[in-house]
Structure 1
């Protein structure tokens, strides 16, 4: 692929990632339970409730993929920020570990 095609592909990927980030709060189930139900099948109920009560080891800057008090716009902002951070970190790793052609 040419350099121009690579850049076009990169920008298209960023746009798609941001589009998904913006739409995710509106398309996600209001009652997600996949991870919790899977954990319930593996871990005893008493141990699971004990883990839930103990709280997190490190608090999240944007718990539950949202910014408190902002509603859906807070969810969109949190997911967009998270997406941009992951893209920036990935881009940085790509630059650091780039193969010399």
Structure 2
């Protein structure tokens, strides 16, 4: 693949990821239980309630994939920001580790 073709692929990936970020809050289940359901089968009930009531060591800048007070648009924005942050970090690490000696 040529460099121009690689960039087209890169930009297409960004567009697809951002499209998923915009659609995710509207397509996601309003009552998800995946991780909690799996943990409930392994961890006893008393420990689960203790874990749920404890405060995190470090607070999340965007808890529950949303920005407080913005509704669905806050969810879209939080997911888009997270997606772009992960892409930026990945791109940066790729540049660092791909340096030719």
Instruction: Return the TM-score normalized by structure 1.
Output: 0.97
In structure 1, what is the Cα distance between the partners aligned to 2:55 and 2:43?
17
Residue 83 (1) aligns with residue 83 (2):
yes
**In the comparison of the two structures, how many residue pairs are matched?**
101
CA RMSD of aligned residues (A): 1.2
Please list every run of at least 4 consecutive aligned residues from structure 1 whose deviation after the TM superposition is greater than 4 angstroms.
none
Instruction: Return the TM-score normalized by structure 2.
Output: 0.97
- Deviation of residue 57 (structure 1)? 1.4
Equivalent in the alignment of 2:24: 24
Structure 2: state its 5+ residue gaps.
none
- Deviation of residue 100 (structure 1)? 3.0
Structure 1: state its 5+ residue gaps.
none
In structure 1, what is the Cα distance between the partners aligned to 2:62 and 2:100?
38
- Deviation of residue 99 (structure 1)? 5.1
- Deviation of residue 53 (structure 1)? 0.6
